[in-house]
Amino acid sequence: MTAQGIKGKSGTPGNFKQDLSGRYNLDKVFAIAAWTATIVSVLVLAWLLLTILIDGLGTLNFNFLSAFPSRKPEQAGIKAALFGTLWVMMIVAAVSFPIGVGAAIYLEEFASDNWFTRFVEINIGNLAGVPSIIYGLLGLAVFVRIFEPITGGRSVLSGGLTLALLILPVIIVATREALRAVPNSIRLAGFALGANKWQVVWNHVLPSATPGILTGVILALSRAIGETAPLLAIGAVAFIRSTPDSLQSPFTAMPIQIYNWVGRPQEEFHHIAASGIIVLMIMLLLMNTIAIYLRNRFQQTR
């Protein structure tokens, strides 16, 4: 570009260089701010993890994992909460995954573009940002009271269904984004070979979108396993000396048990609360590891 061309855009060559220098300075300021925020976040996270490990590793043993809660901190364990969390998360995954993925496939691939579909899409996006306590109150009204003959009231089934409602919008939104990321040429190629709509979606679109779908499921389940407010709203007990033996059994969950221990004035309960946090993080890491492994396997087979 000549000096006259530069002058035509920025007034003079000197002004162009000043504008370019100002943009570079803004880029540097933004990069420094981003690195500062990242470093501060990592340091805070490392400090929290180190504090939890120091407080919790001393009381993390087999007795802690196999014992029921107790009023004596040296005898207290997390067995009831651990099994309750496993039951709840199995219900959440079994309910939310097929319903969420199925709804997303219908809305993205089969539903016609009309006012009703757009209304549903807007509400799904809004539901993803609703506070979790609202879902707890909904679960209390519907699953605990209206469907009490089926769910058993304040039971592990009510807790699992409530958390499934909580993460359904997240799974639907993530699945739709994964389906949109699949190139349209894949669909057209399937139609050109004589496949119908369902065959194209099932055999071509869905396998290509599976890694993105599993990523959304990972994020949704990670949110569900740490939720406390919805379970408190439906009446999950804070002290129970038994594990669930059916879907209608009363239960507690690890976030509730940890919250109960943190609220105790004795220092010993704070240490076992840290041990419970370590166990909860290990469960979360195992869930994410399995989901990431499945996602990578699908990526390799594409």
Which domain does 13 fall in, by range? 3-59
Q: Give burial (CB, 10 Å; 0-12/13-18/19+) of 109.
A: middle
* Residue 69 and residue 127 in one domain: yes
* Confidence band, pLDDT 50/70/90 cuts, at residue 57: confident
**Residue 301 pLDDT level (bands cut at 50, 70, 90):** low
- 166: its two tokens: 């909580």
Same domain, 150 and 211: yes
50 lies in the same domain as 97: no
pLDDT at 47 over 90: yes
Q: Report the pLDDT value the prediction gives residue 129, as an integer from 0 to 100.
A: 82
Q: How do residues 89-143 score in pLDDT, each as one tens digit?
A: 999 999 999 999 999 999 988 888 888 888 888 888 888 888 889 999 999 999 9
pLDDT tens across 159-190, in order?
999 999 999 999 999 999 999 988 888 888 88
The reply to whether 19 and 129 lie within a common domain is: no
CA dihedral 194→197→203→208, nearest 10 degrees, is 120
pLDDT at position 248, please?
87
The dihedrals phi and psi of 68, each to the nearest 5 degrees, come to: -85, 165
In angstroms, the CA 211 to CA 293 distance is 10
Same domain, 55 and 73: no
294, two tokens: 């499945």
**28-55: buried (b, 16+ CB within 10 Å) or exposed (e) per residue?**
eeeeeeeeeeeeeeeeeeeeeeeebbeb
Both 68 and 55 in one domain: the answer is: no
Are residue 73 and residue 141 in the same domain, yes or no?
Answer: yes
pLDDT at residue 11 is higher than 80: no
Cα torsion angle, 262, 155, 129, 31, sign = positive
Q: CB under 8 Å to 216, separation ≥6 — which residues? A: 170, 171, 173, 174, 175, 177, 178
User: How many structural domains does the chain have?
Assistant: 2
> Domain check: are 53 and 69 in the same one?
no
Q: Residue 106: what residue type? A: Y
- pTM of the predicted model over 0.95: no
